[in-house]
């Protein structure tokens, strides 16, 4: 776990405030997309319900490149300085499904960790920053409002069809991740943030493995508190930001599926010490392939990139994501043990 | 191809004409007055207790409405298998003489080439539609035929003016898919021509109903009565069903087969279908007590029954469409309805028999065409679901056994008769012994027709049935006397019934391979073999059996489908509810005031 700023060319000095602002502007733009690539962008089919009592440990690895920091909502690399950021982030989590008044309650915690490095050329000078360690942990609380009742038995699971399901989720990130106020590239963000959202899963056609099709939409609003120790003690403020994720998923076989993904973010105008930056209006598109390896393990691999990024000042980012999820339930595991003993 | 079909059709037409001329020797001519229309609704593998009016929880309001207006008959018999029943329905002649001495699919080597065992309705018999047509009826047929596929054997050649027929014994409800590599496509005919494809939006039960209505509609108003044979494929497996019919009983059958059987029996007693005190037949010895199964197992097996119930309800819905149509055109009140299932409910795993084992061509075929096995897909094309012996026993409540076997569950079925020939109080329950072969003489009498003295230049085999007309009119208790008897043989299993006594012989492991004697007046479930106590009755019934064998050229098969089953199934022991107690004992809960923590 370390963080530091080191000059790559012509000595080491932190970019001037104007340069930092320009950097912050670009990175803030990416911050809006940042959750898409980092914490907030969940894989397709994430909000399908499962058997009450089921447990899951997701491990998500992301490799991202762009002109902003995907982990920091205020770090900007101005396009006219040709900044770039690379991030290799892993997110490990735990999720459990429980029944609550016959509805499915989902509790999840996600912890990001990894390495970020960024380049910036300001006034002909290039600087490199990097940060490693743990980011801000996030918890998610979700409950199904419309859709099948909580699945309390395997027969319920056998009969599960989402049809039209609507959940309500609340995410809260705790500002305890690695943070160094001497630099603008950090894994932690030194402020509270979170979102409220309403994931919707709409089953299209039959719910038969090999033929399942879903349209999944997640509208959400992100909220940020101020970071009062931002890059040298300044104050970073960010307005609420609207995000809309959408996935059109389709089975190819019983265990293999694909998804067309998109995410759009708007708003979230930030300011540093009262100086406003641009608000966001970014669209990313991508695709995901998923495979259920066995009863316990599923795998997804995806790619996403910004598309409205042709202007020099636009956010440019793309990233690969691979996720493993290990799930288990004591009934299923018990049956396996008995079968193995036969 | 077109030329070939034209030629086939010409041959079929010529044969039909020849047959018609040969058979028209002795019609008695149309009776005076407006003769009733006749609709026979046949449910394929429909069980005795599957209609609401016979005690089912399955909702069949349209069939029930026929029962409410007419008569329910509780001692109606068929063969234990389908095409033999159909052959007796349409010929009135015993199966061993009419060509279906055995099912075509299971004919034994010693039966090959023997008259009466051709595997199709042979040309020595005439048919009900042929005689009715000669007597001035329009004759229409839709649905399953299963009595021959070549041009001289199809419905158009056997007396039906119009048809839309599945010639095979079963198949997809959605398309032309059939079950084996050798017979991958079902064969259909429409009005005597073999179909190259099926109509758009084809679904068997719906399309059959559409077609029969269109047949009736086409000739409506010409003054002639019609005979409509609605031979539904439903509810025979595979349970193919539109999605909106699949989820009408979700979770209802998770309670298990024994509970549902008890509930049905209770309703049957309350309705008067069976007498008070009737026992349930023993659960088949190889079936578990459902209460001991895990919820998931019960749910999966229950879902099969949910689907079956949907099949029956969907069929009832389409029967309702036909009823509504007849009411709309003013013909309902002048229409006789005869409704029944063709044999006991299906307890065998037909798909397993068909698909075979890995490495066989049928297994490969099933892998390609019939391998959609997920429960959520059940009902779709390419799925094959049957509900198994546990639910077949439910369908045959309160009887023992099911299709193919000689227990009452194999051969007895619920019968509804309604219409102008029924002159008893609406909703009456009749308990006289009746047989599917009775329908031919009954309807000939209704139509004012008579059985021809020659068929194709030869004297036809005798009708074995008895007309119901007097009984339906309330002028007789029963179409049979106490001396009349019925006898059965299929797949080597055999039985004979006279009065309340029934003698039964079945292959192991389902039977003892000894003659067993039951008194059906007191033992509908055939639990108590009385052969040792009543040797004189055994002797009497054996003499009748011998008489039946001689009169009908019964040739017991040298090979049977029961071969090897004693080794495949568990050893047979009596099934006693609650045994062994070990599996049923519950947690002991001590008195609360005697609870204590361990002492240090």
What chain A holds in terms of domains, given with CATH numbers, is: 3-341 (2.40.128.130)
Answer yes or no: is B523 within a domain.
no
Q: Which of B42, B140, B34, B32 is nearest to B86 (CA)?
A: B42
Nearest CA distance, A327 vs chain B (angstrom): 19
Does the beta-carbon distance from B376 to A161 stay under 8 Å? yes
User: Cβ separation of A207 and B375 shorter than 8 Å?
Assistant: no
| Residue B246 belongs to a domain | yes
Closest partner residue to A158 (CB to CB) among B296, B372, B380 is: B296
Q: Identify the three-state secondary structure at position B318.
A: helix
Mapping DSSP to helix (H, G, I), strand (E, B) and coil, where does residue A327 land?
strand
- Give, as one character, the DSSP assignment of residue A20: H
* pLDDT, position B352: 86
**Contact with chain A for residue B504, Cβ under 8 A:** no
Whole-number Å distance between alpha carbons of B517 and B444: 35
User: B377 in a domain, yes or no?
Assistant: yes
Q: Which domain holds residue B103?
A: 2-28+36-485
- What are phi and psi for residue A85, nearest 5 degrees? -135, 135
| Residues A183 and A231 sit within 8 Å (Cβ to Cβ) | yes
What 3 state SS string does B342-390 have?
A: CCCCCCCCHHHHHHCCCCCHHHHHHHHHCCCCCHHHCCCCCCCCCCHHH
The reply to whether B448 touches chain A by the CB within 8 Å rule is no
Q: How many domains does chain B have?
A: 1
Q: Confirm or reject contact between A161 and chain B (CB < 8 A).
A: yes
Query: Do residue B243 and residue A161 have CB atoms under 8 angstroms apart?
Result: no
| B53 noted as active-site residue | no
Structure tokens, B4: 């070939």
Do the beta carbons of residue A20 and residue A309 sit within 8 Å?
no
d(CA A44, CA B380): 27
User: Quick check: is B82 catalytic?
Assistant: yes
A336 has a chain B CB within 8 A of its CB: no
Give residues 175 to 204 of B whose Cβ lies within 8 Å of A.
none
A154 to B294: CB separation less than 8 angstroms, yes or no: yes
Residue in A with minimal Cα distance to B295: A155
Answer yes or no: is B593 within a domain: no
How much is the average pLDDT of A323-335? 87
Among B103, B98, B104, which Cα is nearest to B116's? B98
- Of the listed ranges A68-82, A153-167, B197-211, the least confidently predicted one is A68-82
Q: Which residue has the tokens 């942990």?
A: A137
Contact state of A206 with B294 under an 8 Å Cβ cutoff: no
Contacts of A155 in chain B (CB under 8 A): 251, 254, 295-296, 298-299
* SS3 assignment, position A70: coil
Lowest mean pLDDT among A82-86, A309-313, B183-187, B237-241: A309-313
Query: Do the strands B485-490 and B138-144 form a parallel or antiparallel pair, or are they unpaired?
Result: unpaired
Quick check: ipTM above 0.90? no
Give the Cα separation of B6 and A187 in Å (integer). 81
Q: Please indicate, yes or no, if residue B392 is contained in any of the structural domains.
A: yes
- Is residue B413 packed enough to be buried (19+ CB in 10 Å), middle (13-18) or exposed (0-12)? buried
User: Is B534 inside a domain boundary?
Assistant: no
- Crossing angle of helices B295-328 and B388-395, in 10° steps, is 40
Q: Which residues contact B591 (CB under 8 A, 6 or more apart)?
A: none
Q: Is residue B22 part of a domain?
A: yes
Task: Report angle CA A80, A85, A87 to the nearest 5 degrees.
Answer: 165
CB contact under 8 A, A158 and B250: no
Whether the CB-CB separation of B494 and B406 falls below 8 Å is answered with yes
Give phi and psi for B350, each to the nearest 5.
-60, -40
CATH of the domain at B298: 3.40.720.10
A210 close contact with B: CB closer than 8 A? yes
List CB contacts (< 8 A) between A254 and chain B: 374
The two three-digit tokens of residue B7, written as one number: 């030629």
User: Residue A124 — very low, low, confident or very high, per pLDDT cuts 50/70/90?
Assistant: low
Contact between B72 and B415 (Cβ < 8 Å)? yes
Picking from A154, A155, A157, A160 by the largest number of B CB atoms within 10 A of its own CB, the best residue to mutate is A155
The CA distance from A225 to A236, in Å, is: 9
DSSP class of residue B181?
S
Answer yes or no: are the C-beta atoms of A121 and A157 closer than 8 Å: no
pLDDT of residue B3: 42
- Residue A39 above 80 pLDDT? no
Nearest to A155 among B296, B372, B377 (CB): B296
Phi-psi region of B48 (alpha: psi -120 to 50; beta: other; left: phi over 0): alpha
Name the nearest CA neighbour of B527 among B367, B361, B414, B408.
B408
* CA end-to-end distance (rounded Å), chain B: 95
pLDDT at B593: 97
Q: Is residue B521 part of a domain?
A: no
Higher pLDDT, A319 or B6: A319
- Nearest residue to B23 (alpha-carbon basis) of B457, B442, B439: B457
Chain A contact probe: residue of B303, B376, B377, B385 with most A CBs at under 10 A: B376
Tokens of B101: 């001495």
Q: How many CB atoms lie within 10 A of CB B176?
A: 18
What is the distance, to the nearest Å, from the Cα of residue B453 to the centroid of all Cα atoms in its chain?
Answer: 30
Calculate the alpha carbon distances from B79 to B229, B486, B493, B544 in Å: 18, 11, 11, 18
Tell me how far apart the alpha carbons of residues A47 and B208 are, in angstroms, rounded to a whole number.
Answer: 44
Q: Using one digit for the tens of pLDDT, what is the confidence trace for A219-265?
A: 999 999 999 998 778 888 889 989 999 999 999 999 999 999 998 88
pLDDT score of A336:
81
Is pLDDT of A277 > 80?
no
Q: d(Cα B408, Cα B538) in Å, to the nearest integer?
A: 18
Q: Which helix (H) or strand (E) holds A89?
A: strand A84-100
Mean pLDDT (chain A) is 80
Report the C-alpha gap between A14 and A19 in whole angstroms.
Answer: 9
CA pseudo-torsion sign B106, B380, B231, B45: positive
Q: Which of B138, B146, B236, B249 is catalytic?
A: B146
As given in the structure block, the two tokens for residue B489 are: 């043989």
Q: What is the mean pLDDT of each run of 10 residues along chain B (600 residues)?
A: 43 41 38 82 98 98 98 98 97 98 95 97 98 98 97 98 98 96 96 97 98 97 96 98 96 96 98 97 95 91 97 98 98 98 95 86 91 91 95 98 97 98 96 98 97 96 98 96 97 98 97 97 97 98 98 97 91 92 94 96
Tokens coding A68:
């902003």
Instruction: Supply the angle between the helices B295-328 and B61-69 in degrees, to the nearest 10.
Output: 60
Alpha helices in B108-178 (DSSP H): 128-134
């Amino acid at each position: 776990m370390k963080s530091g700023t080191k000059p790559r060319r012509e000595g080491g000095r932190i970019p001037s405030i104007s340069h930092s602002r320009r950097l912050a502007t670009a990175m803030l733009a990416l911050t809006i997309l940042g959750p898409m690539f980092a914490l907030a962008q969940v894989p397709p089919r994430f909000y399908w319900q499962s058997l009450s009592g089921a447990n899951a440990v997701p491990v998500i690895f992301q490799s991202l490149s762009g002109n902003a920091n995907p982990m920091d909502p205020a770090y900007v690399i101005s396009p006219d300085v040709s900044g770039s950021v690379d991030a290799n982030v892993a997110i490990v989590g735990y999720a459990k499904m429980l029944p609550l008044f016959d509805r499915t309650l989902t509790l999840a915690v996600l912890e990001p960790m990894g390495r970020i490095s960024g380049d910036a050329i300001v006034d002909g000078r290039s600087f490199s920053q990097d940060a490693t360690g743990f980011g801000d942990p996030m918890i998610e609380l979700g409950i199904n409002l419309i859709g099948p009742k909580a699945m309390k038995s395997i027969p319920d699971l056998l009969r599960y069809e989402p049809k039209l399901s609507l959940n309500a989720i609340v995410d809260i990130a705790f500002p305890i991740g690695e943070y160094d106020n001497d630099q603008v590239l950090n894994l932690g963000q030194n402020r509270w943030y979170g979102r409220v959202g309403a994931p919707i899963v709409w089953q299209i056609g039959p719910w038969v493995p090999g033929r399942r099709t879903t349209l999944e939409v997640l509208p959400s609003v992100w909220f940020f508190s101020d970071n009062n120790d931002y890059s040298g003690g300044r104050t970073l403020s960010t307005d609420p930001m609207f995000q809309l994720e959408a996935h059109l998923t389709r089975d190819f076989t019983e265990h293999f599926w694909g998804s067309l993904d998109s995410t759009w973010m708007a708003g979230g105008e930030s300011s540093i010490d009262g100086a406003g930056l641009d608000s966001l209006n970014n669209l990313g598109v991508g695709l995901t392939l998923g495979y259920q390896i066995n009863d316990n393990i599923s795998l997804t691999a995806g790619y996403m990139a910004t598309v409205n990024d042709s202007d020099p000042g636009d956010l440019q980012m793309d990233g690969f994501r691979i996720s493993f999820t290990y799930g288990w339930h004591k009934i299923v595991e018990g049956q396996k043990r008995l079968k193995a003993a036969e | 191809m077109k030329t070939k079909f034209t030629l086939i059709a010409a041959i079929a037409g010529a044969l039909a004409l020849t047959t018609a001329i040969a058979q028209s020797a002795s019609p008695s001519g149309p009776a005076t007055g407006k003769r009733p229309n006749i609709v026979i609704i046949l449910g394929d593998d429909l069980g005795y207790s599957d209609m609401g009016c016979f005690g089912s929880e399955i909702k069949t309001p349209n069939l029930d409405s026929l029962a409410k207006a007419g008569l329910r008959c509780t001692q109606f018999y068929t063969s234990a298998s389908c095409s033999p029943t159909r052959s007796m329905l349409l010929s009135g002649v015993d199966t061993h003489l009419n060509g279906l001495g055995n099912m075509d699919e299971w004919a034994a080597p010693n039966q090959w080439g023997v008259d009466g065992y051709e595997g199709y309705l042979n040309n020595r018999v005439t048919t009900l539609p042929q005689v009715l047509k000669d007597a001035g009826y329009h004759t229409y047929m839709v649905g399953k035929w299963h009595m021959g596929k070549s041009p001289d054997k199809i419905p158009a050649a056997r007396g039906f003016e119009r048809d839309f027929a599945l010639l095979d014994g079963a198949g997809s409800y959605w398309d032309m898919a059939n079950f084996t590599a050798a017979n991958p496509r079902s064969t259909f005919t429409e009005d005597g021509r073999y179909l190259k494809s099926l109509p758009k939006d084809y679904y068997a039960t719906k399309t059959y109903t559409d077609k029969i209505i269109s047949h009736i509609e086409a000739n409506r108003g010409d003054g002639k009565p019609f005979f409509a044979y609605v031979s539904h494929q439903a509810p025979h497996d595979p349970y193919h069903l539109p999605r909106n019919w699949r989820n009408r009983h979700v979770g209802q059958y998770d309670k298990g087969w024994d509970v549902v059987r008890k509930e049905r029996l209770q309703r049957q007693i309350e309705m008067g279908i069976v007498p008070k005190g009737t026992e349930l037949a023993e659960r088949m010895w190889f079936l578990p007590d459902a209460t001991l199964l895990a919820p998931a197992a019960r749910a999966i097996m229950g879902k099969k029954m949910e689907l079956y119930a949907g099949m029956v309800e969907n069929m009832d819905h389409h029967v309702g469409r036909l009823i509504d149509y007849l009411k709309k055109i003013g013909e309902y009140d002048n229409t006789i309805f005869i409704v029944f299932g063709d044999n006991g409910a299906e307890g065998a795993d037909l798909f397993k028999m068909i698909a075979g084992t890995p490495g066989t061509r049928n297994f490969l075929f099933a892998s390609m065409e019939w391998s959609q096995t997920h429960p959520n897909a059940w009902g779709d094309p390419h799925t094959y679901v049957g509900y198994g012996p546990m639910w077949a026993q439910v369908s045959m409540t309160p009887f023992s056994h099911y299709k193919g076997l000689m227990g009452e569950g194999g051969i007895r079925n619920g019968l509804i008769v309604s219409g102008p020939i029924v002159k008893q109080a609406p909703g009456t329950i009749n308990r006289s012994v009746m047989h599917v072969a009775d329908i031919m003489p009954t309807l000939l009498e209704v139509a004012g027709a008579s059985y021809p003295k020659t068929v194709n230049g030869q004297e036809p085999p005798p009708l074995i049935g008895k007309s119901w007309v007097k009984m339906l009119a309330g002028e007789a208790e029963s179409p049979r006397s106490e001396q009349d008897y019925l006898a059965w043989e299929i797949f080597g299993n055999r039985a004979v019934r006279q009065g309340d006594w029934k003698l039964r012989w079945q292959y192991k492991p389902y039977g003892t391979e000894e003659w067993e004697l039951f008194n059906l007046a007191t033992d509908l479930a055939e639990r108590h073999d009385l052969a040792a106590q009543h040797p004189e009755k055994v002797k009497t019934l054996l003499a009748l059996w011998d008489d039946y064998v001689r009169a009908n050229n019964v040739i017991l098969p040298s090979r049977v489908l029961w071969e090897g089953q004693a080794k495949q199934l568990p050893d047979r022991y009596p099934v006693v509810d609650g045994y062994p107690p070990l599996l049923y004992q519950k947690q002991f809960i001590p008195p609360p005031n005697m609870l204590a923590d361990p002492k240090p």
